[in-house]
Chain A
Amino acid sequence: MRRSTTSGPVLGLLATALLASTGQLATSAQAAELVWARYGDLDSLDPHRATSTLSMQVWDQIYDTLLAFDADGQPQPHLAKSWEISEDGLTYTLALEDGVVCHDGSPFDANDVKFTIDRAFDEAQPSLTRTAWGPIESVEVVDTLTVKVSMSSKFGAFLPFLADSFSSIVCDTNTADTFGSSTAIGAGPFKLVEWVKGDAVTLEKNPDYRNFGKPVENMGPPHLDRLVIKTVPEPQTRLAALQTGEVHVAEPPFDDIAAIREAGELEIVVADNTGQNVFWEFAISRPPFDDIRARQAVAYGTDPEMAIDIIYGGLSQREWCPIARGVFGNDQEFCEQFGYEYDPEKAVELLAELGYGPDNPLETTMFVWTGGNRHKLAEIFQAQLAQVGINAAIEIMDIGTMNARVKEQNELVDDPSPGTFDMMTWSWYDPDILYALWHSPGAYSGFTTPELDAMLELTRTTIEPEARLAAVQDVIQYLMENAVHVGLYTPGWEWVFAVRPEVSGFKVGAFLHPMFNDVEVKE
């Protein structure tokens, strides 16, 4: 399936007209209010009931976390000022900051941490990301500012998880049935005023807010009085709203970023260290990709550097590792040793060994997910592969469907059709994503071996950083040498923000967390 883009040139013309038409940008009506327009709405105000980035970005404003990622993506003390790990690595004792209050005025303490974790593990309705918390057995309130978390086995990804929005601390006063749909009490920089589903979330400043570890300059309450997070699905409408001043921050239309930059009136902020990684992944249950040489031929036969340069310009970078930049264990030099530099001749050789040649090309299908001009990227890869003797049809689908189809492909062992490969993507803050993807039975029922299982288990149960790094790198080497998970580029999809000139202090933290603590809007 090829997606047509007949509206592209027309929209481009309109966008150019939009940009050219407004020499002077309108000014904001209310200095202390900022409107941020996004393409979609959050799914739930309850951090245990959703997994989308759009939801996480709102939770970031309402809730706080025990740890916080610094600009490089490393977890730092935040609401937990310090912690001790028992010698057996099974117990974490966290000391909390004093004087923090929840939005309803109740003190933030160890009971809120216990409430949050117990709720995530509630048998009747566990958190959708329960497994990411690790093998937690119990949570004990030692005193009001000390909490002890006990694990059944060691879990190396626990501390990074405590800096992620999925571990947002929900105050224990969130007992109303409306929690998640119309109420939410946290200790974050903004309080919930109202959520009109599909339309906007209105937040107001939390005057009692204290920042301990977030990578922003402001250690107190936000400068903004109100933050309105509005849903505007159509990119051209978002751009028009930015132009009129109705909106201050928004994702612009992808194809218009160059024109916006050239016009020079809106600032373009490109999210860095997003945790997103795009990679080749193969249905290994049947030919042709049950043979490592076919997988390697795809890797050698495609040139991601050239492809992303053409399609994304400076918005994406070549990624050698199976985990994204900013994630613990990502080391470009290390990964490059085991990577597949573009080598079409090598690809042809490998295909010849498998019996493929000019008269007998390898037939397969490439799955790609919609959006972000990836269909164009796929066409470049398709052309490159055709040159080495791989006929790859392209199928474009939404990411959810692709996830399900990839799993299904791996499970079609005896199917006579050739196995597929896909441009897959994941976003995560820790190399533990590799465990989720490749430990038996595997997120996609794909490549697994007992050897890899053991190596992945070691990445989980090793806590000491140097030893864990070695364990993670062993897994990276194994996955790359077996051409199972071949890194392509990062970030994986469009997280570019256009910001109006009267706005200052807007930052996007590691792993796609826009931060408004420093933001000011000039009159």
Chain B
Amino acid sequence: MVKETFIHDKHVALGAKMVDFAGWHMPVQYSSIIEEHKNVRENVGIFDVSHMGEVFVSGFDAAAFLNSLVPQNILELDYSKAVYCQLPKENGGLIDDLIIYRLGILEYMIICNASRVDEDLNRLVNHSRGFDVKIYDRSHEFSLFAVQGPKADELMRKMGLTTHQNSFTICPAVIGGVKLLASRSGYTGEDGYELLVKNEHAEYLWDEILKQGKEFNIMPIGLGARDTLRLEAGLHLYGNDLDENTTPVEAGLSWSIPKDKHADYVGKDVIMGQIANGVEKKLIGLKMLDKSIARHEYEVYFKGEKVGTVTSGAPSPMLGANIALAYVKNNKEICTGSIVQVMIREKLHDAEVVKRPFIEKRNKVRL
């Protein structure tokens, strides 16, 4: 059965076009994907991302347990901080990508992709033998709203946020009179917050943010613009750009992996081996040189040879060009500035290899 978030009826009332996504009936757009996208870059937008999973891990061994599952160093994760992580299999392929928050001395929260909650839980539970940990899937208790854009901070302050949070930190807060957890993070490349709220307050908070956000030109934003925003920001989407056959090194995520982590973790041999010895495929950014749009699964050619596959592609409303992510053979000649071709409806179209992110990110907040 398709699931609905606690504010499903609000989306319908706002005139959203609804689609099935990862088992949930979600808004893909309210007005226009391009308009919504630009509003997040210029003003502020609110996203209902309540479909995402929240898994809590607590207990005496919580840190060591998580540390044995992800390449990132969870032992060094300070209280109230968050870290972007991957959940690898033994062969280095990814079960999911996650944000792990440290909520307490012995308590962590994992935000996972809606489509992967069950797989993540399986891995966690099966791996927990010998660890003093308790694993709770609390996804059904919470709604999650992302408030993103250059005016997000001002709006949250107007609504009662008093703490000054660096990016990737989480704090209890009262916003619009509602008790919640506010994380300074997002999936758009903009500054902003993700607000975790008990379901019973979700409707009220959603309405209140839209109401209070009017003076900042707030708009509700659907999954369509969420996808184009994350793509412009060069952020991976699990299921498109990450999967069980792709390692974080191949995905260009080596920056997120400490090279000096002492503890063992699932997939460490493969991942550290790839960091040391290189990989056979790599993720590149593409900018189409004509008006054509590269899409998921289109083939990529270089000098007449098929070298890879597009994993995500869409128009970039800010660049006025069409952009894509693709995996290609790790050939040194395919580098920033090279021209490759994408096969679109049986014709080859030129694309330039460009750096990721495609636009300058503005979400680095240091106070």
A, B from the same assembly: no
Could you list which residues of chain A lie within 8 angstroms of chain B, going by C-beta atoms?
none
